[in-house]
A and B are shown apart, each in its own frame.
Chain A
Amino acid sequence: MAYKYLWTPLQLGPVATRNRIVFSAHLTNFAREGLPTEQHAAYYAARAAGGAGLIITEEHSTHPTDWPYEKLIHGFHRDVIPGYKRITDAVHRHRVPIFAQINHNGGQASSMFSRLPVWAPSPVADPLFREVPKAVTHAEIDEIVAGYATVAEHCAEGGFDGIELQCSHSSIVRGFLSPATNKRTDEYGGSLANRARLLLEIVAAVRGVIGNRLALGVRLCGDELIENGSTIEEAVEVSRLVEASGHVDYINTSIGVATASLFMIEASMHIPPGYALFIPSAIRKAVDLPVVGVGRFKDPLQAERALAEGHCDLVGVVRGQIADPDFAAKARAGATDEIRLCLSCNQECVGRMGLNRWLGCIENPRTGREHEWAVTDHVALTAKPKDVMVVGAGPAGLQAAIAAARRGHRVTVYEKENVAGGQVRWAASVPNRAEFGDMIRNQLNECRRLGVAIEFGTGVWPGLVEEKRPDHVIVATGAEPQRPWWVSDPDADESARRVVDVRAILDGSAPLGGPQSGDSVVVVDEIGFHHATSVAELLADRGCAVEIATPGMVVGQDLGITLDMENWWIRASAKGIVQSTDLVPMGFANGELTLLHHPTGANQTRRPDWVVLAVPPSPVEWLYNDLKSLGVSVERVGDCVAPRRAHAAVVDGERAGSSI
């Protein structure tokens, strides 16, 4: 497919973009003590260098009452300006414009950090923060408006090319716009014109201070996805009001409310790409201003199509450029296959934001660490190339191979199976999780580009190492299913053969389910992530009656971190999957599973046809131990050190491969 639109320039007020790809605003947790950092500068600069058309920074707070999370940039302090300059200089070096998003989160906050009452249109508690806010007075509204103007001035002084007002998913402006949170009876409440009054006052005040030198954009929520919230019809009306103000150069869009329906803002792989396109599409029909569309844009062809079909004028690609800063440049060069595709797994980007940790990427260990890599640049080739043997082609082994090959070492990966991927392959084989497998596709592409040799169907034992005589061995042999102590010995108790690991379901070795089988299954979840829930879904789809039992207080507790919890519950309810909590497995014998309800001490029993285990596996460490005792130069990475998640494997691999 030829690109007709994606690489065409666009004028946003005084600012020209060279293409239509926007690195749209998103939290990073890179700020320190309210100030932007070198981490910000290097992070944005990497996306500018990688060809993005426009960068919009994360939000800058406009008032001391707004401090919902620790690492927020306090734009209202003049101290931010040197940090702003560092960011804008770094980005401008690549001739890419950069806008600052400015915002007051309103009632979508707590007083934990500010020690001040939270400000909002009305005393309606936010569903996440659960703190009743103070309804602002007219004097306080004036203070809010003045705060936006002050921060806009700071941004202009700091070298930004434009300002974006976040009025969409976490903002006092949205709070005023939405009938769900605005219960006022004065001229700021009631009719849409009244609810939009604050927005228009802010627009006028900001334009007043930035003049015509900077672009001004407004980001609007197209559907709050909450009860009594605003929907697309109102968003279109608000867009018209914004355009009619004559002060605004573009409209950005979003969907959902960050503290109520976040799972639809930063949707995981379970939600189809392009799911929020109806919003820019409707707004674009109503206004002449350029409109930005967002919502799981994963590849450049999809972006091109959204433009071609007239849904939007610009496309926000955030996670795609978090995973691969060179997304645009690679697409432009026709090397689409080389793009490290985002998985939409949300594990290390979105997932870390709520945990107050810096933004990263499950498959790109450099994301968020650009400021460190700039020092020891990856192109620095080793003076002494070595022969490196990597054992295992899962995510840890492949990343070790990539990192070593990048330094100029000669790398061969040995994989005992006939395919790469390790556990990722199985994780990606369940309903709606296929995109997780792109991780291995991406790694294999990079291995190919770097000339890494992969020997499939070749297990490694000390004799092979002796024969091949590599200079260094990296063991990435992964982990294998483990039978917990509470399951009887299948040699003595035949019923225990119907206790199987999730992997036996995924690789098809356990013959359960199937039309009319009517198999009843208890899935025991001691991991609390996708393992149990995805297998439960698979089995329910195959006609099994499925119950998940967990010692935890909820099934799959970490699904909340990746924004998969809400949709899991919706699907699980529809599929009739029973979720039972606070149950510690105490034994399985003669077909009976005993579960201890630990809060009350009462035992429960089940007699299912099958028990499926989602329990921590056991590291395969014999090869590492043998090689170490033979005095071989050896290191181990990934699950064979300790079974963890895919990102830990990638980080281990990168560290080992780059430090040979």
Chain B
Amino acid sequence: MRLAESLPIGARTAPSRVMFGPHVTNLGDDDRSFTDRHVAYYERRARGGAGIIVTEGAGVHASDWPYERAPLAERCAEGWHNIATACHAHGALVIASLDHAGGQGSSAYSQSPLWAPSRVPEVNTREVPKWMEDADIAAVIDGFGRAARLAVESGLDGVEINAGQHSLVRQFMSGLTNHRGDRWGADRLEFARAVIRAVRDAAGSAIVGLRLSCDELAPWAGITPEMAPGIAADMCSLGVDYVVVVRGAIFSAEKTRPDFHEPTGFNIDVCRAVRAAVGASTAVFLQGSVVDVGQAEWAVEDGVCDGVEMTRAQIADAELIAKVRRGDADRVRPCIRCNQTCQVRDARNPIVSCVGDPSSGHETRDPRWEAPAPTSRRVLVVGAGPAGLEASRVAAARGHDVTVVDTDSPGGLASVAGPGGPLVDWLVRECEALGVSIRAGVEPDEWSRLAPSHDVVIQATGSRRGIADYTIGDGAIVYDVADIRRGRVALPDSGDVAVLDPIGGPIGVAFAEELGARAVLVTPDNIAGNELSRTGDLAPANVRLAQKGVHIERRSVVRAVEKNGDGLIVRLQDRFSGEVRTITVSAVVDAGFRLPTEPLPVDRALSAGDCVAPRTLYEAVLEGRRAAVKIS
């Protein structure tokens, strides 16, 4: 495959055309340096065949401290060196991303004003930056040069200038954020040119890359796809060895690396145009929800780009290219673009990870799950949801003889609700490939007969419906969202449907979205989908709900559901005013908290996932692994 072929970039050659792009990991140290956890994280992707690893963005000047664990270039020499040494052993090129977040940063950590071209408030924090004085501009340009020199001296193969999301360079380029009357505003590209010149000069023969927002999704003043090829050509004429085509700006921070609600490969058209506009000596990389090997291969084959950034895909499967090379492309663990644990630009500093591979980001701490077990055991896994399937997969990989049973078809709740479908499909395929016996439609009395003939039983029986904390009147029916998703019950064909969502999570919101104008989404919060902020889908979800005409009952506690003729009334109480109001609907669906299923009547059964406590895919997969390695 073309993806696995080498790619010359500048004076060097990447062993494959797949990039592991720069992203926030929160693996950094308090002193803003890289750590051993970073080294292990990147090395694992290099070992797995990544051609180019671009390290987490490092601020080029002390005025930039956008998140607590953001690396600062002047403190990165040792970390860069260690990462380069570890990754070079596998042939990968290692590039430092050089950043300044400008007005999109935060003053929380530096306790100093933000620097930006003009006084445009940051969209989410509404913080107003200081417009940069000439001395400030000179200091940042100088900082880019110094950082580039340090990166190359530390043994890296080059640097990448961030003019994509969260970047001062882009803020200078854009009419959205650069309203200056001086020379930096008269020609908005001038700052970027000065930065590239400084970096090119400092980098010597090393690689200089540019991450460029080619669509700010704000055509009234921003960079548009029509402008982007010209800008890219202008920048590349200054000696840029590669360009990564990205999109997004201040009003669209979540659109740069969006979740599964956006299509894959959304930058393909503009990337093709940029490829056509820049010289052959500049390699062009496609970015933008490319998580599928087939799409990536096609993009290279079709001349969209020379290489592809597949960051999340390699967080999900660190061996992506290695599998491609050995002809196992269909065995790559899919990235489902859920953004649940890899999107960590979050003040709480969560560690980057993956619902499919929870050991991503925890390379130095988690065990080698698939190491062979000393003794092969006969293992019965009860429940073929993600927890049971992962337990089965890992147990089989360790050499155990595994049977997994379920009353239903495999996949559990994850196969019918949320974006986990492709992951459970992969788990089923992997289990099959590893010789796990998967038996669907096995009733409890049957598996309890099976248990005694096994050495170990792992319970992964999932969750059951929660207990309503509101009253349900005589004759009134409240559906469980899981029953509807599984097709066990059907909604009436017409009439409004109340969706009770005390969680504010993806399941209730998605259900309301599908119902569209029929849905009345009931939330205790001021905003629908409160828990979606982690994935970046909070604002987009609310836009979708509004566009689909979903009615939202905010700040509402559900008090009662009562029968009303052929329909139902739902009594709601306002959390703050105490006012009680009713809504009239044809059906009510509860998407609230669930309960664990009862423990199996088996001594010393191991357990994993929702039957321990109903949570998410991440915990199910992690606990499935943990159960598998506990088999002794």
Q: CB within 8 Å of B: which residues of A?
A: 32, 69-70, 111-113, 115, 117-118, 123, 125, 127, 130-135, 355-357, 526-528, 553-554, 566, 569-570, 572-574, 582, 597-600, 616, 618-619, 641-644, 648, 651-652
- Whether A642 and B68, one on each chain, are in contact in the complex, defined by CB atoms closer than 8 angstroms, is no
Least CB separation from B574: chain A residue: A573
In the complex the two chains form, what is the Cα distance from A123 to B597 in whole Å?
A: 11
- Whether B347 and A356, one on each chain, are in contact in the complex, defined by CB atoms closer than 8 angstroms, is yes
- Whether B348 and A644, one on each chain, are in contact in the complex, defined by CB atoms closer than 8 angstroms, is no
- Whether B30 and A32, one on each chain, are in contact in the complex, defined by CB atoms closer than 8 angstroms, is yes
- Whether A573 and B107, one on each chain, are in contact in the complex, defined by CB atoms closer than 8 angstroms, is no
In the complex the two chains form, what is the Cα distance from A528 to B119 in whole Å?
A: 17
Chain A: minimal CB distance from B68 (Å): 7
- Whether B546 and A599, one on each chain, are in contact in the complex, defined by CB atoms closer than 8 angstroms, is yes
Chain B: minimal CB distance from A350 (Å): 15
**10 A-B pairs with C-beta separation under 8 A:** A70-B349, A112-B350, A125-B503, A127-B524, A130-B593, A134-B613, A357-B108, A572-B576, A573-B577, A648-B113
- Whether B126 and A526, one on each chain, are in contact in the complex, defined by CB atoms closer than 8 angstroms, is yes
Residues of B within 8 A of A130 (CB): 503-505, 531, 593
- Whether B113 and A566, one on each chain, are in contact in the complex, defined by CB atoms closer than 8 angstroms, is no
Residues of B within 8 A of A132 (CB): 593-596, 613-615
- Whether A651 and B111, one on each chain, are in contact in the complex, defined by CB atoms closer than 8 angstroms, is yes
Binds A, one of B127-135, B144-152, B384-392: B127-135
* Contact bitstring B342-360, A, C-beta under 8 A = 1, else 0: 0000011110000000100
- Whether B127 and A600, one on each chain, are in contact in the complex, defined by CB atoms closer than 8 angstroms, is no
- Whether B348 and A69, one on each chain, are in contact in the complex, defined by CB atoms closer than 8 angstroms, is yes
In the complex the two chains form, what is the Cα distance from A125 to B610 in whole Å?
A: 13
Residues of A within 8 A of B619 (CB): 111, 117
- Whether A134 and B119, one on each chain, are in contact in the complex, defined by CB atoms closer than 8 angstroms, is no
- Whether A355 and B594, one on each chain, are in contact in the complex, defined by CB atoms closer than 8 angstroms, is no
In the complex the two chains form, what is the Cα distance from A514 to B154 in whole Å?
A: 69
Q: A111-B615, A132-B595 are in contact. List 10 more A-B contacts (CB 8 A).
A: A117-B612, A118-B613, A123-B596, A131-B615, A132-B593, A132-B594, A526-B121, A642-B130, A642-B131, A643-B128
- Whether B576 and A570, one on each chain, are in contact in the complex, defined by CB atoms closer than 8 angstroms, is yes
Q: How many interface contacts (CB-CB < 8 Å) are there between A and B?
A: 112
Q: Dominant SS at the A interface? A: loop
Beyond A112-B348, A528-B126, is A134–B612 a contact (Cβ under 8 Å)? yes
In the complex the two chains form, what is the Cα distance from A118 to B348 in whole Å?
A: 18
Least CB separation from B353: chain A residue: A115
Answer yes or no: B182 CB below 8 A from chain A CBs: no
- Whether B113 and A123, one on each chain, are in contact in the complex, defined by CB atoms closer than 8 angstroms, is no
Answer yes or no: B324 CB below 8 A from chain A CBs: no
Contact residue among A113, A356, A569, A600 (Cβ-Cβ distance under 8 Å from B576): A569
- Whether A642 and B526, one on each chain, are in contact in the complex, defined by CB atoms closer than 8 angstroms, is no
Complex interface residues of chain B between 568 and 584 (CB less than 8 A to chain A): 574-577, 579
- Whether A125 and B593, one on each chain, are in contact in the complex, defined by CB atoms closer than 8 angstroms, is yes
Q: CB within 8 Å of A: which residues of B?
A: 30, 68, 107-109, 111, 113-114, 119, 121, 126-131, 347-350, 358, 362, 503-505, 524, 526-527, 531, 538-539, 542-543, 546-547, 555, 574-577, 579, 593-596, 612-615, 619, 622
Beyond A125-B593, A356-B68, is A600–B527 a contact (Cβ under 8 Å)? no
In the complex the two chains form, what is the Cα distance from A652 to B130 in whole Å?
A: 13
- Whether B108 and A355, one on each chain, are in contact in the complex, defined by CB atoms closer than 8 angstroms, is yes
In the complex the two chains form, what is the Cα distance from A307 to B622 in whole Å?
A: 53
Least CB separation from A360: chain B residue: B111
Q: Dominant SS at the B interface? A: loop
- Whether B555 and A553, one on each chain, are in contact in the complex, defined by CB atoms closer than 8 angstroms, is no
Residues of B within 8 A of A641 (CB): 113, 130
Residues of B within 8 A of A115 (CB): 358, 362, 622
In the complex the two chains form, what is the Cα distance from A111 to B531 in whole Å?
A: 15
- Whether A642 and B30, one on each chain, are in contact in the complex, defined by CB atoms closer than 8 angstroms, is no
Chain B: minimal CB distance from A120 (Å): 9
In the complex the two chains form, what is the Cα distance from A597 to B612 in whole Å?
A: 44
Beyond A123-B613, A573-B577, is A553–B126 a contact (Cβ under 8 Å)? no
Beyond A123-B613, A134-B612, A553-B542, is A356–B348 a contact (Cβ under 8 Å)? yes
Least CB separation from B358: chain A residue: A115
Residues of A within 8 A of B594 (CB): 132
In the complex the two chains form, what is the Cα distance from A53 to B114 in whole Å?
A: 41
- Whether B577 and A574, one on each chain, are in contact in the complex, defined by CB atoms closer than 8 angstroms, is yes
Least CB separation from B505: chain A residue: A130
In the complex the two chains form, what is the Cα distance from A528 to B526 in whole Å?
A: 14
- Whether B576 and A642, one on each chain, are in contact in the complex, defined by CB atoms closer than 8 angstroms, is no
Residues of A within 8 A of B119 (CB): 616, 618-619, 642
- Whether A599 and B542, one on each chain, are in contact in the complex, defined by CB atoms closer than 8 angstroms, is yes
- Whether A553 and B539, one on each chain, are in contact in the complex, defined by CB atoms closer than 8 angstroms, is yes
Residues of B within 8 A of A597 (CB): 546
Residues of A within 8 A of B109 (CB): 357
Least CB separation from A127: chain B residue: B524
Least CB separation from B599: chain A residue: A137
Give the top 3 A-B pairs by smallest Cβ distance, nearest first.
Answer: A573-B577, A599-B546, A569-B576
In the complex the two chains form, what is the Cα distance from A554 to B576 in whole Å?
A: 15
- Whether B547 and A355, one on each chain, are in contact in the complex, defined by CB atoms closer than 8 angstroms, is no
- Whether B526 and A644, one on each chain, are in contact in the complex, defined by CB atoms closer than 8 angstroms, is no
Chain A: minimal CB distance from B465 (Å): 12
Least CB separation from A617: chain B residue: B128
Beyond A130-B504, A553-B542, A644-B128, is A356–B614 a contact (Cβ under 8 Å)? no
Contact residue among A133, A582, A599, A619 (Cβ-Cβ distance under 8 Å from B613): A133
Residues of A within 8 A of B622 (CB): 115
Beyond A132-B614, A616-B121, is A642–B128 a contact (Cβ under 8 Å)? yes
Chain A: minimal CB distance from B114 (Å): 7
Chain B: minimal CB distance from A640 (Å): 10
In the complex the two chains form, what is the Cα distance from A475 to B373 in whole Å?
A: 71
Residues of B within 8 A of A598 (CB): 543
- Whether B349 and A356, one on each chain, are in contact in the complex, defined by CB atoms closer than 8 angstroms, is yes
Residues of A within 8 A of B348 (CB): 69-70, 112, 356
Residues of A within 8 A of B126 (CB): 526-528, 616
In the complex the two chains form, what is the Cα distance from A611 to B488 in whole Å?
A: 54
In the complex the two chains form, what is the Cα distance from A408 to B576 in whole Å?
A: 52
In the complex the two chains form, what is the Cα distance from A135 to B526 in whole Å?
A: 30
Beyond A117-B612, A554-B526, is A642–B114 a contact (Cβ under 8 Å)? yes
In the complex the two chains form, what is the Cα distance from A59 to B347 in whole Å?
A: 21
- Whether A554 and B108, one on each chain, are in contact in the complex, defined by CB atoms closer than 8 angstroms, is no
Chain B: minimal CB distance from A268 (Å): 16
In the complex the two chains form, what is the Cα distance from A117 to B607 in whole Å?
A: 12
Chain A: minimal CB distance from B243 (Å): 31
Contact residue among B503, B546, B577, B595 (Cβ-Cβ distance under 8 Å from A570): B577
Residues of B within 8 A of A582 (CB): 542, 546
Beyond A599-B547, A641-B130, is A355–B542 a contact (Cβ under 8 Å)? no
In the complex the two chains form, what is the Cα distance from A112 to B344 in whole Å?
A: 11
Residues of A within 8 A of B347 (CB): 355-357
Chain B: minimal CB distance from A240 (Å): 31
Chain A: minimal CB distance from B438 (Å): 26
Residues of A within 8 A of B593 (CB): 125, 130, 132
Residues of B within 8 A of A554 (CB): 526-527
In the complex the two chains form, what is the Cα distance from A70 to B614 in whole Å?
A: 23
Residues of A within 8 A of B111 (CB): 648, 651
Residues of A within 8 A of B547 (CB): 599-600
Residues of B within 8 A of A600 (CB): 546-547
Chain A: minimal CB distance from B123 (Å): 9
In the complex the two chains form, what is the Cα distance from A360 to B10 in whole Å?
A: 49
Least CB separation from B120: chain A residue: A616
In the complex the two chains form, what is the Cα distance from A454 to B329 in whole Å?
A: 75
Least CB separation from A565: chain B residue: B526
Residues of A within 8 A of B546 (CB): 582, 597, 599-600
Contact residue among A70, A133, A573, A652 (Cβ-Cβ distance under 8 Å from B579): A573
In the complex the two chains form, what is the Cα distance from A133 to B109 in whole Å?
A: 33
Contact residue among B30, B127, B349, B555 (Cβ-Cβ distance under 8 Å from A569): B555
In the complex the two chains form, what is the Cα distance from A111 to B616 in whole Å?
A: 11
In the complex the two chains form, what is the Cα distance from A133 to B615 in whole Å?
A: 9
In the complex the two chains form, what is the Cα distance from A652 to B114 in whole Å?
A: 13
- Of the listed residues B68, B348, B349, the one surrounded by the most CB atoms of chain A closer than 10 A to its CB is B348
In the complex the two chains form, what is the Cα distance from A34 to B594 in whole Å?
A: 32
